[in-house]
Amino acid sequence: MTNARQTIDERKRALRHSIMKNRQYTTTMERIDAGELCADAFFALPLFLRARTQPPTIACHVSMGTEISTLPVLSEAVRRGCRLLVPRLGTGRDIGWSSLTSVEEVDALHHEDTARSGHAMRPDEPDAETLPAQALADADAIVLPALAVDSRGGRLGRGAGWYDEALMHAAPSAPRIAMCWSSEFIGDPLPQSPHDVPVDAVLTEHGVTFI
């Protein structure tokens, strides 16, 4: 079992290194443009088109480094009056969330200099109240980062396991949507560990694909 786990971990590390290296060739404008395309596709989902008594609750990560920018999704969610949950990363595997209500709060989390350089600087923690891990149960849809996603919903993250633990509190009805570049949505199965939580859909600059 130990050798099998080491093999999976080694394959994950190799994939992360390769993907992160390829992402270094993306530009700030490409990441922003891709983010706008992702936002257009995300807000075209039926969740936002059907009549509701109140706007939905959205959980979404704050992009960093060479990730596709989530600023367009975050800003549009606030503009639409959605309740917006963003991660509070804390220390280690502390799971928490904060609710943002204004574009100014969204902008305050974004390192413009980091976006230009592509370095994966951790986003600032929100100034808003810290909500417990269980707050994710209120989300009607969850957008989370991925380095790659396979055709079965397997997700490759950065390796900390934060989102795998966080998703344990998600409502079963809330789609788990991983955001990555279209070139990172692959057909071959990704190496997966028992604790890895699959996703329901992938969001790329080409649109949303449910799995």
Torsion sign, CA atoms 69, 93, 147, 173:
negative
179: closest CA among 130, 138, 146? 146
139, pLDDT greater than 50: yes
| Residue 165 assigned ligand-binding role | no
| Residue 159 assigned ligand-binding role | yes
| Residue 156 assigned ligand-binding role | yes
Q: Where in the chain are the domains?
A: 2-192
| Residue 157 assigned ligand-binding role | yes
Q: What local confidence, expressed as pLDDT, does residue 160 receive?
A: 83
| Residue 13 assigned ligand-binding role | yes
| Residue 160 assigned ligand-binding role | yes
Q: What local confidence, expressed as pLDDT, does residue 11 receive?
A: 95
Encode pLDDT of 151-163 as tens digits. 999 999 998 889 9
b (16+ CB within 10 A) / e for 108-124:
ebbbeebbeebeeeebe
Distances (CA, A) of 112 to 53, 93, 107, 108: 36, 26, 9, 10
Which pLDDT band, with edges at 50, 70 and 90, does 130 fall under? confident
d(CA 201, CA 106): 24
| Residue 62 assigned ligand-binding role | yes
| Residue 12 assigned ligand-binding role | yes
Mean pLDDT of 128-145: 94
| Residue 167 assigned ligand-binding role | no
User: Would you identify the CATH topology of the domain 2-192?
Assistant: Rossmann fold (3.40.50)
